[in-house]
């Protein structure tokens, strides 16, 4: 599950996205999350027609969803989260 300001916020604020970080209203996120889950289960070839169908019903949701998918694609292309973080746990009590 993705939450506003979490992975989505990280993707939208990543250096590959030169624009300002987009904050998604919690009510808007509740509408977008199931659609995002659904479209991410589709192949890249299926996504275009799915987004067009959504756009006919709800242009705003389709535009927001397209922006999220574009942010995810940009993050993937730039290698965001492709390498493990270099974090030392020395001295931490676990």
74, burial (CB in 10 Å: exposed 0-12, middle 13-18, buried 19+): middle
pLDDT at 13: 46
pLDDT along the chain (94 residues), means of 10: 44 48 82 94 93 96 91 75 72 68
Closest CA to 19 of 76, 67, 86: 67
- Between the CA atoms of 55, 20, 25 and 42, what dihedral angle is there, to the nearest 10 degrees? 40
C-alpha atoms less than 13 angstroms from C-alpha of 30 in its C-beta half-sphere? 2
pLDDT at 12: 47
pLDDT at 10: 42
pTM for the model: 0.61
């Amino acid at each position: 599950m993705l939450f506003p300001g979490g992975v989505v916020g990280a993707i939208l604020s990543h250096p590959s996205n030169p624009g300002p970080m987009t904050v998604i209203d919690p009510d808007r996120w509740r509408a977008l999350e199931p659609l995002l889950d659904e479209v991410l289960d589709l192949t890249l070839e299926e996504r275009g027609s799915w987004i067009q169908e959504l756009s006919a019903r709800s242009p705003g949701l389709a535009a927001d969803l397209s922006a999220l998918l574009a942010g995810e694609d940009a993050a993937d292309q730039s290698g965001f989260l492709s390498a493990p973080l270099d974090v030392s746990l020395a001295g931490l009590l676990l």
